[in-house]
């Protein structure tokens, strides 16, 4: 046997023993981290010093020694399961998903071709079919797993651009790239849509000027009347409304655009409708709240992130396409991987529907989680997030030092500390920074209509309302200490 066998999983008894030793190390590291504060409070400079050791020593060291170094990294990581970690869409992970993560990494299936991922390719297809049905997509629909909402949104706008050029001008973007007057293309989204719309426009060769921001109502939902006005303006200026992006669960407010109404406008205009449900897509699991997503079934494409309110380890997201034939505009064949003849035989080489080649089998951890918890329990956890946000909004409403920006629609709550006092802008910026530097809490911040705000993104269904009240109390005390 090669002297390297012990280094690899699956190579026999020696490999298994090494794997077991490493899993024991990992278990100890995680047990240590689980009882830590939300964050250690370490600054970038102190982390530079703490992590100054040699990256690649000439000779390796024992697992236990590596484990001590690993524990150092864990000790200075934000603990996403901590009740006082509530800044971002940064969730604790389901234990079932974590176990599946180990399995999918060990299996190391690569989702680009069937001969690297046979069962995985078929299972991923089944999970995507399930999601298409859950979202109410038509029979023609299909999808792919992606690295995250940014990539899913990018795919939506990429396919929208290519579809528009073909439909409107018979222009084949796959063969020819974009035409000389591509500078007329525009994507419309709300003023609080995720910045990945702009990032996509940059990558698509259209630049940020291609993104037209549509105003929102007082609950941060796109206003259909303003959308119509922008579309009329674009038409009058000879610009092309290629796609409208509706957000179902905005990053800051969890607000949900009126998707059904926007879908009707998109249809009238002949524009592609992409729905960014990276965050709000989880509401589909709740019988009680899925009505809030009415209209997503009318989208041409849809983003759903599982590493948000489906509690999966990063990364795990899906991109759905109502008519999966439209993946054709990004299809490229490679002799070594996915030939046309294999496709004609019906072999699912999934590289044809992804912007990636090598791709993780992230679908597995979602599948294991869905199997282990079932829809009712998943739905209850999503509903718990809504309940926590409502509790926080009530607490803020009753607190004389705080003011709520708007009623929450999902799990995000935006508010301000004493906005009526002169120091408000400084305090509201400083509170999250101070709590983070002291390692006491990880609280969000954002800017609403020019004013710095505090934000809690509640994405841990295990948090108790008492803990949430304690966090809000800590924020108020921190503000009072500055005022």
Ligand X SMILES: Cc1ncc(COP(=O)(O)O)c(C=O)c1O
**Contact set with ligand X (CB under 6 A):** 89, 148-150, 153, 194, 196, 247, 249-251, 276, 278-279, 305, 317
Min CB(413)–ligand X separation in Å: 15
Q: How far apart are CA 299 and CA 321, in angstroms?
A: 8
H or E element: which one contains 414?
A: strand 412-417
Min CB(355)–ligand X separation in Å: 13
- Whose Cβ is closer to ligand X: residue 146's or residue 338's? 146
Q: How far apart are CA 24 and CA 239, in angstroms?
A: 60
**308, 459 contact by CB (below 8 A):** yes
Min CB(317)–ligand X separation in Å: 6
Residue 304 Cα to chain centre, angstroms: 7
- Whose Cβ is closer to ligand X: residue 112's or residue 362's? 362
- Count the neighbouring beta carbons within 10 Å of the beta carbon of residue 468: 22
Q: How far apart are CA 145 and CA 24, in angstroms?
A: 31
- Whose Cβ is closer to ligand X: residue 88's or residue 228's? 88
Give all strands of the β-sheet with 240-247 in edge-to-edge order: 142-146, 317-321, 301-305, 272-276, 240-247, 185-190, 211-214
- Whose Cβ is closer to ligand X: residue 173's or residue 443's? 443
Residues β-bridged to residue 257: none
Min CB(313)–ligand X separation in Å: 12
- Whose Cβ is closer to ligand X: residue 83's or residue 149's? 149
Min CB(220)–ligand X separation in Å: 12
Residues β-bridged to residue 425: none
Q: Which two tokens stand for residue 243?
A: 């796609």
- Whose Cβ is closer to ligand X: residue 305's or residue 349's? 305
Min CB(91)–ligand X separation in Å: 11
Min CB(190)–ligand X separation in Å: 11
- In the chain, the N- to C-terminal Cα span, in Å, equals 70
Three-state secondary structure call for residue 134: helix
Distances (CA, A) of 125 to 56, 267, 309: 40, 28, 21
- Whose Cβ is closer to ligand X: residue 113's or residue 317's? 317
Helices 224-236 and 259-269: crossing angle in degrees, nearest 10, is 20
Min CB(245)–ligand X separation in Å: 9
Handedness of CA 435, 436, 440, 443 (dihedral sign): positive
- Whose Cβ is closer to ligand X: residue 25's or residue 248's? 248
């Amino acid at each position: 046997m090669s002297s390297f066998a012990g280094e690899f999983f699956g190579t026999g008894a020696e490999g298994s023993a090494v794997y077991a030793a490493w899993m024991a190390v990992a278990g100890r590291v995680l047990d240590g981290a689980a009882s830590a504060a939300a964050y250690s409070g370490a600054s970038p400079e102190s982390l530079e010093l703490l992590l100054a050791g040699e990256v690649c020593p000439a000779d390796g060291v024992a697992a236990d020694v590596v484990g001590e170094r690993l524990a150092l990294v864990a000790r200075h990581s934000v603990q996403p399961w901590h009740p006082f970690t509530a800044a971002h869409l940064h969730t604790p992970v389901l234990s079932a998903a974590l176990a599946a993560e180990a399995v999918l990494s060990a299996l190391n299936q690569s989702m680009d071709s069937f001969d690297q991922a046979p069962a995985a390719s078929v299972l991923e297809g089944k999970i995507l079919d399930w999601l298409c049905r859950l979202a109410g997509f038509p029979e023609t629909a299909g999808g792919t797993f992606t690295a995250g909402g940014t990539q899913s949104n990018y795919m939506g706008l990429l396919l929208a651009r290519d579809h528009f050029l073909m439909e409107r001008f018979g222009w084949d973007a796959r063969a020819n790239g974009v035409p000389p007057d591509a500078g007329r293309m525009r994507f419309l989204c709300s003023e609080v849509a995720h910045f990945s719309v702009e990032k996509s426009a940059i990558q698509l060769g259209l630049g940020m000027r291609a993104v037209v921001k549509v105003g929102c109502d007082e609950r941060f939902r796109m206003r259909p009347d303003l959308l119509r006005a922008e579309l009329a303006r674009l038409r009058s200026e000879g610009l092309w409304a290629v796609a409208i992006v509706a957000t179902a669960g905005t990053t800051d407010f969890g607000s949900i655009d009126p998707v059904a109404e926007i879908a009707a406008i998109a249809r009238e205009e002949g524009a592609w409708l992409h729905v960014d449900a990276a965050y709000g897509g989880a509401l589909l699991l709740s019988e009680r709240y899925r009505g809030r997503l009415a209209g997503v079934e009318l989208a041409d494409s849809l983003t759903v992130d599982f590493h948000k309110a489906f509690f999966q380890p990063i990364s795990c997201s899906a991109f759905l396409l109502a008519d999966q034939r439209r993946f054709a505009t990004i299809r490229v064949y490679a002799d070594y991987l996915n030939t046309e003849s294999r496709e004609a035989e019906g072999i699912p080489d999934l590289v044809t529907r992804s912007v990636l080649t090598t791709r993780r089998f992230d679908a597995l951890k979602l599948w294991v989680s869905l199997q282990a918890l079932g829809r009712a329990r998943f739905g209850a956890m999503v509903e718990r997030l809504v309940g926590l946000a409502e509790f926080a909004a009530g607490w803020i409403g009753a607190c004389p030092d705080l003011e709520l920006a708007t009623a929450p629609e999902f799990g995000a709550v935006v508010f301000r500390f004493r906005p009526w006092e002169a120091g408000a802008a400084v305090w509201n910026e400083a509170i999250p920074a101070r709590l983070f530097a002291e390692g006491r809490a990880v609280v969000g911040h954002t800017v609403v209509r020019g004013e710095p705000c505090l934000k809690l993104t509640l994405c841990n269904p295990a948090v108790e309302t008492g803990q949430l009240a304690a966090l809000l109390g800590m924020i108020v005390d921190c503000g009072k200490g500055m005022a």
